Chains A and B, each alone.
Chain A
């Protein structure tokens, strides 16, 4: 029992409620948001340290022992993801201060921001399947509001589609929960894992597992990503950075949790399906990233490629590839947030969305140029930077499990990432400025630079300090490879 692990959920929730009352005072809202996120960051660091020293932490809500009550579980994976989420949130918050616009800030932008955080963090920490559904809904409803806030025509149109897809996937989630409850009669994840092991995973349970896979794949953009490129191109850059870094990763986290903890007995069937979906995701994402000449779309397809890559790590399910998936997940959240913030700065300073209308930004914005170059290399996985270790581990895991074709595809998708991002780099930063957009030079405020520089430092630290970080992520991987650690921590108190 450890009451601290509810704090990362409670802090944004209370902050959001307070922010509702001071919606007219933009400056006050900013200060409250920053203080809350920084405080939460410290709490998350404390939790990571605690999990490192004392093992998996659990909290039984209301003192009801599991499986009867709701339990919050902070194992290393959840703790690290909460920490990464808060780093990303702090950066996106700084970036949104001057870029989001006063009108949006007065209409509860920061409150929605905090509710989104509450949903994401709750999803990471919960140990109950239906509570996961509720946290998903908290996150999704906040994301509906954030994506439509401002109400331009494009936002209205894309939000309709985004909402429809998510309503359908949430409905399927409830249906899957209903089937699972009808079959095994419990909703606590640790208890579910035991019950599924008892009655053997066959027939009906494999079908339920596949249904969960479809639900989470819709959220994560794994193969079923048709909604993603359009929806993520509608909101302002700060919101897209938040979505690109967090929302799809929550879906991936749910896939990791479900298929390492609950349905981990039949590794032949469902894991093969995940492998095929990962392959299709990487191929289609690479095609999209290479095909478009529109900065926003190239970045959106890059999200999809990395989702496929992490799913490949999950599909291999060896201890190496699970370690690698955890590391790559952390790296990807930070790097994608940085990529989208830089993308937003580039679009704002070039005044255009298409690569053909940009050019010569290296002269006016050299710092942005170098940061973009660094994050591009990090996403490809060039050694001193953060993407390297995760890719090596996932590829090694894939090879040791004999998935040669998939491994080749994963490496080829890195080339597509490299090509698409360097295309952006050369198009936007080299050459001459096209001139006709010079009429209104947009000044990028220094808070945007603070956000981008902070994340760039994180990308470098994650890469240079890989060995140190690996001592943490390998603990997360150990729980994933051996679910009995998780079950014992939750059920035997």
Chain B
């Protein structure tokens, strides 16, 4: 199971990086959120995907899945959610003020 998950995460990473290297700002943001998806799945996978009950003591099972990575993923999800929403608003604002979403045109040093 871990092997298939690793392959899937690898594909997500590849697509995310490809998107980040493109010119359009919107694609770049989509690329970053793909990367964070990949990394959250990686966190889940790295704790081994053994079968066990959900980490609730009420289940009264003999074995549970590892609860630590789930907490880490939850933390990381809300952080990346906050950052992504800020990034989207920033991109919107930048599009309004600068009139372009092409990263090639956002270069420059003293051109203002």
Give residues in A with beta carbon < 8 Å to B.
130, 133-134, 137, 141, 144-145, 148, 151, 153-154, 156-157, 159-161, 163-164, 167-168, 170-171, 174-175, 177-179, 181-182, 187, 230, 294
Show 6 residue pairs from A and B whose CB-CB distance is below 8 angstroms, ordered by the A residue: A137-B83, A161-B106, A164-B32, A168-B35, A171-B32, A174-B40
Contact among A130, A137, A170, A182 for B47, CB-based, below 8 A: A182
Q: Using an 8 Å CB-CB cutoff, how does the interface string of B28-47 with A read, 1 for contact, 0 for none? A: 10001001100110110111
Give the contacts of B64-94 with A (CB-CB under 8 A): 68-69, 72, 75-76, 79-80, 82-83, 86-87, 90-91, 93-94
Which of A161, A168, A171 has most B Cβ within 10 Å? A171
Number of B interface residues in the complex (CB < 8 A)? 37
Residues on B with beta carbons closer than 8 Å to the beta carbon of A156: 90, 93-94, 97-98
Nearest opposing residue in chain B for A233, CB measure: B109
Residues on A with beta carbons closer than 8 Å to the beta carbon of B108: 157
Residues on A with beta carbons closer than 8 Å to the beta carbon of B104: none
Residue pair B91, A160 in contact (C-beta under 8 Å) = yes
Task: Give 8 nearest A-B pairs by CB, closest first.
Answer: A182-B46, A178-B43, A156-B94, A178-B46, A174-B39, A178-B42, A171-B35, A167-B32
Contact among B32, B75, B82 for A130, CB-based, below 8 A: B75
In whole Å, how far is A300's beta carbon from the nearest beta carbon of chain B?
A: 12
Q: In whole angstroms, how far apart are the Cα atoms of A182 and B48 in the complex? A: 8
The majority secondary structure among interface residues of chain A is helix
In whole Å, how far is B109's beta carbon from the nearest beta carbon of chain A?
A: 8
Residues on B with beta carbons closer than 8 Å to the beta carbon of A181: 43, 46-47, 68-69, 72
Q: Using an 8 Å CB-CB cutoff, how does the interface string of B45-73 with A read, 1 for contact, 0 for none? A: 11110000000000000000000110010
Q: In whole angstroms, how far apart are the Cα atoms of A144 and B86 in the complex? A: 9
Residue pair A163, B42 in contact (C-beta under 8 Å) = no
Q: Given A156-B93, A167-B87, answer yes or no on A177-B72 (Cβ-Cβ < 8 Å).
A: yes
In whole Å, how far is B32's beta carbon from the nearest beta carbon of chain A?
A: 5
Residues on B with beta carbons closer than 8 Å to the beta carbon of A130: 72, 75
Contact among A134, A151, A175, A187 for B93, CB-based, below 8 A: A151
Residues on B with beta carbons closer than 8 Å to the beta carbon of A137: 79, 83
Residues on A with beta carbons closer than 8 Å to the beta carbon of B109: 230
Task: Please name 11 further chain A to chain B contacts, defined as beta carbons within 8 Å, in addition to the given A167-B36, A168-B35, A175-B39, sorted by A numbering.
Answer: A134-B79, A137-B79, A151-B93, A153-B98, A153-B112, A159-B90, A160-B25, A170-B80, A174-B42, A174-B43, A177-B43
In whole Å, how far is B33's beta carbon from the nearest beta carbon of chain A?
A: 9
Residues on A with beta carbons closer than 8 Å to the beta carbon of B48: 182
The majority secondary structure among interface residues of chain B is helix
Nearest opposing residue in chain A for B2, CB measure: A182
Contact among B20, B42, B45, B97 for A153, CB-based, below 8 A: B97
Q: In whole angstroms, how far apart are the Cα atoms of A492 and B58 in the complex? A: 34
Nearest opposing residue in chain A for B40, CB measure: A174
Nearest opposing residue in chain A for B101, CB measure: A160
In whole Å, how far is A445's beta carbon from the nearest beta carbon of chain B?
A: 27
Q: Given A164-B20, A177-B43, answer yes or no on A294-B110 (Cβ-Cβ < 8 Å).
A: yes
Q: In whole angstroms, how far apart are the Cα atoms of A141 and B78 in the complex? A: 13
Residue pair A134, B75 in contact (C-beta under 8 Å) = yes
Residue pair B94, A160 in contact (C-beta under 8 Å) = yes
Q: In whole angstroms, how far apart are the Cα atoms of A485 and B45 in the complex? A: 34
In whole Å, how far is A98's beta carbon from the nearest beta carbon of chain B?
A: 25
Nearest opposing residue in chain B for A182, CB measure: B46
Q: In whole angstroms, how far apart are the Cα atoms of A187 and B93 in the complex? A: 39
Residues on A with beta carbons closer than 8 Å to the beta carbon of B106: 157, 160-161
Residues on B with beta carbons closer than 8 Å to the beta carbon of A159: 90
Nearest opposing residue in chain A for B106, CB measure: A157
Which of A151, A159, A163, A187 has most B Cβ within 10 Å? A163
Residue pair A148, B90 in contact (C-beta under 8 Å) = yes
Residue pair A160, B90 in contact (C-beta under 8 Å) = yes
Nearest opposing residue in chain B for A292, CB measure: B109
Q: Given A164-B20, A177-B72, A294-B110, answer yes or no on A141-B94 (Cβ-Cβ < 8 Å).
A: no
